[in-house]
Amino acid sequence: MDHTPPPERPPRRLTVLSGGVGGARFLQGVLRLVARTGATTEITVVANTADDLWLHGLKVCPDLDTVMYTLGDGIDVERGWGRRDETWRAGEELAAYGAEPTWFGLGDRDLATHLVRTEMLAAGYPLSAVTEALCRRWQPGVRLLPMTDDRVETHVVIDDPADGQRRAVHFQEYWIRHHAEVPAHAVVPIGLDQCAPAPGVLEALSDADVVLVPPSNPIVSVGTILGVPGVREALAATPAPVIGVSGIIGGDHVRGMARQLLAAVGVECSAAAVALHYGARKEGGLLDGWLVDPVDADAVPALEGAGIRCRAVPLLMTDPDASADIAAAALALVP
Ligand code: GDP
Ligand code: CA
């Protein structure tokens, strides 16, 4: 294991590409690290919105909300998503009406967020402006940007257990209704190639001092952000080093469904394969640096040989201090 000392001062402008739970927990660590060092770091988060869905007439943005609630201290820590002290009365009433879908956990407190968001969208505000307004309450300590203001939805091609037919369902249906336990054949981010980056997204990449890629899902979280037109180009051109953290430890995800989705797109489920899937920046890929867990330390020489600076450090985000150590190790990889 490498014990590279953390940088004295975190960079001034840090941009982080985030999914939901994995991204949010990593961001807690980034904020704790910045607080530890007393630095003034401007943190911009570009969050995945391809998990978003319309539910009972409401716009729900799971990854934006997970980041906002986690950093704003409103999250249910055990569950990792949704509001603390949640009740489920509204969902029970909807189910009593037989209103579909019934598989999505819609909490009463959470509902208020979706109501405010939907009302603002209906009034003509773009999602980025709505997110900024919601964050005025939560004060997450970062600038939280949706990757796009446009509608993008990840669908997963599955064998539907109801009738054995192959069909595409919304990612949330695959994950929450089917628990990612049905065979997945493809991942289709609908609308991604037509969307525009939200205001500030490309600037946050080109003006950053460092770009961090948390252990978020490489396909349906980071992968969709990278698919927003202009994002890859901005990342290729930015002078900022791009450092990533593996969400795969010992050949499996820590939580979620990355293993299944990596298989669906033909990428081996290993810390090394995900790094190579992102690619070395000097070969036209994403990464300058990559952290793997000590159980995957044997991948380090090969990744270094492929042009990615690589270290093995413990990557379990058991609490914000553990996440802060991971963030420090990521920043220590900055050349
Ligand atoms: P989601 O949108 O809620 O699924 O969250 P993300 O996409 O941001 O993060 C999910 C990914 O984070 C999964 O693929 C997990 O393997 C990874 N992850 C979750 N907890 C940990 C952890 O403690 N350490 C590491 N290294 N990865 C984690
Ligand atoms: Ca997500």
- Provide residues with CB under 6 Å of ligand 1: 18-23, 63, 66, 215-217, 221, 245-247, 249, 253-256, 258, 315-317
Residues 223 and 325 in one domain: yes
- Say yes or no: 38 and 95 in one domain: yes
- Looking at the structure of the chain, the number of domains it has is 2
Task: Give yes or no: residues 181 and 267 share one domain.
Answer: no
The pLDDT score that the predictor gives to residue 1 is: 41
Q: 33 in a domain, yes or no? A: yes
Q: How far is the CA of 1 from the centre of ligand 2 (A)?
A: 31
Q: What is the pLDDT along the chain (335 residues), one digit of tens a residue?
A: 444 455 567 889 999 999 999 999 999 999 999 999 988 999 999 999 999 999 999 999 999 999 999 999 999 999 999 999 999 999 999 999 999 999 999 999 999 999 999 999 999 999 999 999 999 999 999 999 999 999 999 999 999 999 999 999 999 999 999 999 999 999 999 999 999 999 999 999 999 999 999 999 999 999 999 999 999 999 999 999 999 999 999 999 999 999 999 999 999 999 999 999 999 999 999 999 999 999 999 999 999 999 999 999 999 999 999 999 999 999 999 98
Whether residue 1 lies inside any domain: the answer is no
pLDDT of residue 335: 84
**Parent domain of 279:** 13-149+194-332
Q: Which residues pair with 42 in a beta bridge?
A: 13
In this structure, are 110 and 234 located in the same domain? yes
| Ligand 1 centroid from CA 48, angstroms | 13
- Which pLDDT score is estimated for 295? 98
The CA-to-CA distance between both ends of the chain, in Å, stands at 19
The answer as to whether 7 is a domain residue is: no
Helix (H, G, I), strand (E, B) or coil at 187: strand
- What pLDDT does 5 receive? 52
Residues 143 and 240 in one domain: yes
- Angstrom distance (rounded) from CA 317 to CA 94: 36
pLDDT at res. 3: 45
> Would 3 be classed as within a structural domain?
no
In a domain, 235, yes or no: yes
Same domain, 201 and 106: yes
According to the model, what pLDDT value does residue 134 have? Answer: 98
- Residue 4 belongs to a domain: no
**183 and 56, same structural domain?**
no
Pocket test for ligand 1, best of 255, 291, 318 (most atoms within 8 A of CB): 255
40 and 127 housed in the same domain: yes
Q: What is residue 105's three-state secondary structure? A: coil
230 domain residue, yes or no:
yes
Question: In the block, which residue shows the tokens 């991604």?
Answer: 192
- What's the 216 CA to ligand 2 centre distance in angstroms? 8
Q: For position 110, what pLDDT does the model report?
A: 98
The string over 19-39, giving b where at least 16 C-beta atoms fall within 10 Å of a residue's C-beta and e elsewhere, is bbbbbbbbbbbbbbbbeebee
> What is the rounded CA–CA span in Å between residue 331 and residue 7?
7
Neighbours of 176 (CB within 10 A): 16
Task: Mark whether 205 and 100 lie in a shared domain.
Answer: yes
CA-293 nearest atom, ligand 1: 26
End-of-domain residue from the set 162, 187, 212: 187
Q: How many Å lie between the centroid of ligand 2 and the Cα of residue 223?
A: 11
CA–CA gap between residue 82 and residue 142 (Å, rounded): 19
Same domain, yes or no: 176 and 122: no
**Long-range contacts of the stretch 314-317 (C-beta < 8 A, 24+):** 315/215, 315/245, 315/246, 315/249, 315/291, 316/249, 316/254, 317/22, 317/25, 317/26, 317/29, 317/215, 317/254
User: Is there a single domain that holds both residue 171 and residue 249?
Assistant: no
Q: Which ligand is nearest to the CA of 19?
A: 1
List the structure tokens of 210: 């460092």
Co-location of 76 and 164 in the same domain: no
